[in-house]
Amino acid sequence: MLRLAIVSLMILAAVFTAGCFGGQETDDIAYVLVMGLDKSKQEGKLDVTYQMAIPRALTGEGASGEPALSITLTAESTSEARDLFNSVVARTLNLSHTKVLIIGESLARQGLGEVLGVFMRFREFRGGMKIIIVNDDTAQNFISKNKPKMELVVSRYYETILLSADQSSYFPSVNLHDFYSRMKSGSAAPIAVLAGISGKDSEQASSIPKKPSDSVDDYLAGQIPRGEEETDKEKPNLAEFLGTAVFREDKLVGKLTNQETRMMAILRNNLQNPFFTIDDPLVAGKHIVLNLRLGRNTKLDADIHNDQAKLKGEIFLEGEISSIGSGVSYEREDYRKLLEEHISQTIKQDILTMLHKTQGMRADVVGFGYPARKNFRTYNEFMQIDWADLYSKADIDVTVKTRIRRTGLMWKTSPINGSDN
């Protein structure tokens, strides 16, 4: 009798728990791939842009052929915009597939503390969602102008280009969790990818001061030199990812160029094997191209005595010669040592220049605050100090050592016959 009762209860449980009461058909859902936030012209409101996939277009059945649809709504918050969405599109909004959060510069300078709260609490948002700040533009305009040709699904485009961040180290790859953790921990300044639209402001590119020793130009997103036909508005893609958006607490306070971002990547152990162009130490006007990578993890240290911080960085680089414009045989041991010392001094100077710039922003983008914790007994003691102020006044010392391990497919450089080199 007891066994029959148990079997009956199991059958009843299976009947009443079977099925998907909250399930929805795919045709009833609008999957948001990209979300954009801007400061609205209406005081205290947000412009929220949703970019959604069009399933029929992805299969070639769409009438317009566009694989994505963008809609911008003005609301008090992102939560209200979600509710308003149902009055515009005859589908239920789903944010669980949102890969990228794009934020306009005006909103970023105003502050993101209140805006990001819902992204950390609401279950549909993922911590791995990437954060992008648009350089001197709005998220709405960036989303509308970004029309990748090689990827059919726009989310795939963002994933691919952001995963390649470490290849060139010209921009970081930062997700929502990392950004929010830095914003709350007080040990490092939040950073984000800087993106822009090419040709939006041609005069802005020339406004960046150049250091006399620069071998290559410093750029921000939207300033990469292109041919005239490439900046034609009828010939996308005009989107660019270059540089770093720097925050102090939750507000955007500055930007790092592509070269400054590389120096930050070296200190953050995010350098893989990009090309570096260095001035030739023996022949003026000539350059040497190398592949540089970290030979070992960069060591950071921070000591605090009498309210004065002393920061140290120890860097070891390994390189491979890719090109020697002057024809000097830097493969020889004596010349190779000269080149190694020249590379070390150049990288050191560029790193110190970048760090001094961030000190002026009072923003520890590298994360010296993490090793600085060892100077305190508890985390609460560390949080009671003003680390941003200590960092801005800190003494910084960086040591860089470089070793040329390989010379490519050439073991000896010789001048061209009849050349003056």
Residues 6+ apart with CB under 8 A from 391: 309, 311, 359, 362, 363, 364, 368, 369
Q: Please tell me the predicted confidence (pLDDT) of residue 115.
A: 87
Whole-model pTM: value is 0.85
How far apart are the C-alpha atoms of 30 and 374, rounded to whole Å?
Answer: 49
Asked if 120 contacts 180 with a C-beta cutoff of 8 angstroms, the reply is yes
How far apart are the C-alpha atoms of 282 and 293, rounded to whole Å?
Answer: 24
Identity of residue 104? G
- Residues of CATH 3.30.300.210 domain(s) within the chain? 273-421
Beta-ladder partners of 240: 196
Mean pLDDT by 10 residues, the chain (421 residues): 72 62 60 89 90 67 63 88 80 80 94 86 82 94 86 80 85 91 90 88 44 60 74 65 94 94 94 89 89 93 92 95 84 88 95 96 94 92 91 95 84 63 49
Place of tokens 């002057």: 326
Q: Please tell me the predicted confidence (pLDDT) of residue 20.
A: 56
Place of tokens 């944010």: 95
Q: Please tell me the predicted confidence (pLDDT) of residue 23.
A: 55
Give the fold, CATH level 3, of 273-421.
Answer: GMP Synthetase; Chain A, domain 3 (3.30.300)
Q: Please tell me the predicted confidence (pLDDT) of residue 390.
A: 94
